[in-house]
C-alpha cells in the first residue's frame, strides 16, 4: 500500500471515529446525568460490593441487587415518610378549616387566626367582596378565579407532571446502570485499560482519582447536611418551633439539594413564627439560620472534601462553586473531579514523561524537613499561652 493511500485510509478512519463519538454523545446525552451518578455511586460502593460478594459466596449479582435495593430505600424511604407526614398534616388542616367554616362561617375561621393576621385577612376579604358571615361570596370568587386561571393551572400541572416523570425515569435508569456497573465494573475498567492510548496503569490511576473525589464529595455532602440539621434543630428548639423534629428531618434532606439548601427551611420556619405573633423568636431564628446554619455549608463541606482529596481548601471551595454555577447541582461532583483530573494529569506527566523535572531525593527530603519544622513551630505557638 502506498504512502498516499495509507494517509487517506488513516484520515477516513479518524473521520469515522469522530462521527461515532458524535453519534455516541447524541445517544448518551438524554441519560448523561443518570449514567454519571450511577458511575459515581458504583465507584463509591465498589469496596462494599466486594465485601458483600464474599459474604454471599461470590454471587456478584445478588450483592449488586442488595446494594441497589438499599440505595433505593435510602433515596425513597425518607422522601416517602416526609411526604406522608405532609399529606397527613395538610389533610388534618383542611378538615379543620372545612368544619370551622361550616359551624362558625368565615368570620369564625378568621377569628381563629393570630392577631397579626386577622386584620390583613379581613381587609383582603373586603376587597374580594366576600361575605365573612355566610361565606357564599368566597365560593363564587374562587369559582370565577378558577375559570379565568384554568388554562394556566392546567399548564402548571402538566409541567409538574412532566418534571416528575422525567425525574422518575432518570432515577430508574440510574439504578439499572448502577446494578450493571457493580456487576461488570471491574471488567469495564480492565477493557478501558487495554484500549485507552495511555501507558499501563495510567487509566486505572485516573479512575481511582475520580473514585476518591466522588467518595469525598458524597461523604462531605451527607456529613454537612447532618451538621446543618443539628445546628438548625438547636435553633428550632430555642425558638420553640412547632414540630421541631419534623423540621429537623426536613432540613437534613433539603440540605442535600444544593439549589435550595438548609437555610431556606429555617427561614420558612421563622416566617411561620412571625405569622403566629412570635416576632422576636422569628428574628432570632432568621439570624441563626443565616449566621450559623448557612455558615456550616461554606466552612464544613470544603474542609471535609479537602481531607478526602488532599487539596488546598481554597481550591476545593472555588471548585465547588464553579461546578455548581456551570453544571447545576451535579457540578458539586463535576467541579472537584475536573480539578482532580487536571492535577492527576500534571502529576502523571511529571512522573512518566518528564522525570527530569522531578525533585531529586535529597531536595524532596529537605522540603519535607522544612515542612515538618514549620508545622512543629505552628503547633508550639498554638500551645504557648499569650503573655
**Better-scored residue on pLDDT, 60 or 121:** 60
The answer to whether residues 143 and 67 belong to one domain is yes
Give the model confidence (pLDDT) of 99-129 as tens digits: 776 776 666 666 666 666 666 666 666 665 5
Range picked from 143-152, 157-166, 250-259, 303-312 for highest mean pLDDT: 250-259
The answer to whether residues 205 and 347 belong to one domain is yes
The answer to whether residues 167 and 207 belong to one domain is no
pLDDT at position 137 is 47
Average pLDDT of span 86-110: 69
The answer to whether residues 216 and 352 belong to one domain is yes
Q: 139 pLDDT band (50/70/90 cuts)?
A: very low
- The domain total for the chain is 2
**Residue 134 scores a pLDDT above 60:** no
Q: What's the burial of 285, exposed, middle or buried (CB within 10 Å: 0-12/13-18/19+)?
A: buried
**Better-scored residue on pLDDT, 50 or 141:** 50
Tell me the average pLDDT of the chain. Answer: 75
Residues spanned by the domain of 334: 199-357
Phi, psi for 197 (deg, rounded to 5): -80, 55
Range picked from 47-56, 87-96, 337-346 for highest mean pLDDT: 47-56
**Better-scored residue on pLDDT, 197 or 373:** 197
The answer to whether residues 84 and 125 belong to one domain is yes
Average pLDDT of span 83-98: 71
Nearest to 217 by CA among 3, 66, 36, 383: 36
Residue 7 lies in a domain: no
Q: Distance between CA atoms of 267 and 290, rounded to whole angstroms? A: 8
Residue 282 lies in a domain: yes
Residue 287 lies in a domain: yes
Give the model confidence (pLDDT) of 235-278 as tens digits: 999 988 888 888 888 888 888 776 667 888 888 888 888 877 78
The answer to whether residues 222 and 318 belong to one domain is yes
**Better-scored residue on pLDDT, 124 or 331:** 331
Residue 265 lies in a domain: yes
Residue 381 lies in a domain: no
Q: Distance between CA atoms of 316 and 103, rounded to whole angstroms? A: 60
Residue 250 lies in a domain: yes
The answer to whether residues 224 and 171 belong to one domain is no
3-state SS, the chain, equals CCHHHHHHHHHHHHHHHHHHHHHHHHHHHHHHHHHHHHHHHHHHHHHHHHHHHHHCCCCHHHHHHHHHHHHHHHHHHHHHHHHHHHHHHHHHHHHHHHHHHHHHHHHHHHHCCCHHHHHHHHHHHHHCCCCCCCCHHHHHHHHHHHHHCHHHHHHHHHHHHHHHHHHHHHHHHHHHHHHHHHHHHHHHHHHHHHHCCCCCCHHHHHHHHHHHHHHHHHHHHHHHHHHHHHHHHHHHHHHCCCCHHHHHHHHHHHHCCCCCCHHHHHHHHHHHHHHCCCHHHHHHHHHHHHHHHHHHHHHHHHHHHHHHHCCCHHHHHHHHHHHHHHHHHHHHHHHHHHHHHHHHHHHHHHHHHCHHHCCCHHHHHHHHHHHHHHHHHHHHHHHCCCC
Residue 11 lies in a domain: no
**Residue 154 scores a pLDDT above 60:** no
Residue 191 lies in a domain: no
Range picked from 195-199, 373-377, 380-384 for highest mean pLDDT: 195-199
The answer to whether residues 60 and 154 belong to one domain is yes
Q: 234 pLDDT band (50/70/90 cuts)?
A: very high
Average pLDDT of span 295-310: 75
pLDDT at position 135 is 47
The answer to whether residues 41 and 177 belong to one domain is yes
**Residue 24 scores a pLDDT above 80:** yes
Q: What's the burial of 229, exposed, middle or buried (CB within 10 Å: 0-12/13-18/19+)?
A: buried
pLDDT at position 155 is 63
Q: Distance between CA atoms of 281 and 91, rounded to whole angstroms? A: 28
Cβ neighbors of 225 (< 8 A, separation 6 or more) are: 252, 253, 255, 256, 262
Q: Distance between CA atoms of 48 and 66, rounded to whole angstroms? A: 11
Average pLDDT of span 180-200: 84
- 61-to-56, 166, 195 alpha-carbon distances in Å: 10, 27, 26
The answer to whether residues 223 and 89 belong to one domain is no
Amino acid at each position: 500500500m502506498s504512502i498516499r493511500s495509507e494517509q487517506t485510509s488513516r484520515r477516513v478512519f479518524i473521520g469515522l471515529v469522530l462521527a461515532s463519538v458524535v453519534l455516541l454523545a447524541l445517544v448518551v446525552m438524554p441519560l448523561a446525568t443518570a449514567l454519571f451518578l450511577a458511575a459515581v455511586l458504583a465507584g463509591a460502593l465498589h469496596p462494599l460490593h466486594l465485601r458483600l460478594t464474599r459474604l454471599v459466596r461470590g454471587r456478584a449479582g445478588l450483592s449488586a441487587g442488595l446494594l441497589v435495593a438499599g440505595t433505593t430505600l435510602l433515596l425513597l424511604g425518607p422522601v416517602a415518610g416526609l411526604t406522608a407526614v405532609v399529606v397527613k398534616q395538610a389533610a388534618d388542616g383542611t378538615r379543620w378549616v372545612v368544619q370551622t367554616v361550616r359551624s362558625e362561617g368565615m368570620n369564625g375561621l378568621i377569628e381563629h387566626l393570630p392577631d397579626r393576621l386577622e386584620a390583613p385577612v379581613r381587609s383582603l376579604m373586603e376587597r374580594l367582596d366576600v361575605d365573612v358571615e355566610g361565606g357564599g361570596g368566597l365560593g363564587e370568587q374562587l369559582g370565577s378565579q378558577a375559570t379565568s386561571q384554568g388554562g394556566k393551572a392546567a399548564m402548571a400541572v402538566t409541567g409538574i407532571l412532566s418534571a416528575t416523570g422525567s425525574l422518575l425515569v432518570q432515577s430508574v435508569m440510574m439504578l439499572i446502570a448502577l446494578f450493571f456497573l457493580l456487576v461488570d465494573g471491574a471488567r469495564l475498567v480492565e477493557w478501558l485499560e487495554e484500549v485507552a492510548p495511555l501507558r499501563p496503569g495510567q487509566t486505572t490511576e485516573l479512575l481511582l482519582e475520580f473514585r476518591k473525589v466522588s467518595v469525598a464529595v458524597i461523604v462531605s455532602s451527607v456529613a454537612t447536611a447532618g451538621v446543618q440539621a443539628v445546628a438548625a434543630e438547636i435553633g428550632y428548639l430555642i425558638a420553640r418551633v412547632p414540630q421541631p423534629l419534623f423540621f429537623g428531618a426536613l432540613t437534613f434532606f433539603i440540605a442535600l439539594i444544593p439549589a435550595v439548601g438548609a437555610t431556606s427551611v429555617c427561614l420558612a420556619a421563622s416566617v411561620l413564627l412571625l405569622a403566629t405573633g412570635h416576632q422576636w423568636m422569628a428574628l432570632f431564628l432568621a439570624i441563626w439560620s443565616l449566621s450559623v446554619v448557612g455558615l456550616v455549608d461554606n466552612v464544613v463541606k470544603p474542609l471535609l472534601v479537602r481531607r478526602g482529596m488532599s487539596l488546598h481548601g481554597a481550591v476545593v471551595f472555588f471548585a465547588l462553586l464553579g461546578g455548581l454555577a456551570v453544571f447545576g447541582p451535579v457540578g458539586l461532583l463535576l467541579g472537584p473531579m475536573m480539578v482532580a483530573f487536571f492535577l492527576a494529569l500534571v502529576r502523571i506527566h511529571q512522573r512518566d514523561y518528564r522525570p527530569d523535572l522531578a525533585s531529586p531525593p535529597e531536595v524532596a527530603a529537605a522540603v519535607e524537613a522544612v515542612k515538618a519544622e514549620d508545622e512543629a513551630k505552628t503547633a508550639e505557638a498554638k500551645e504557648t499561652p499569650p503573655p
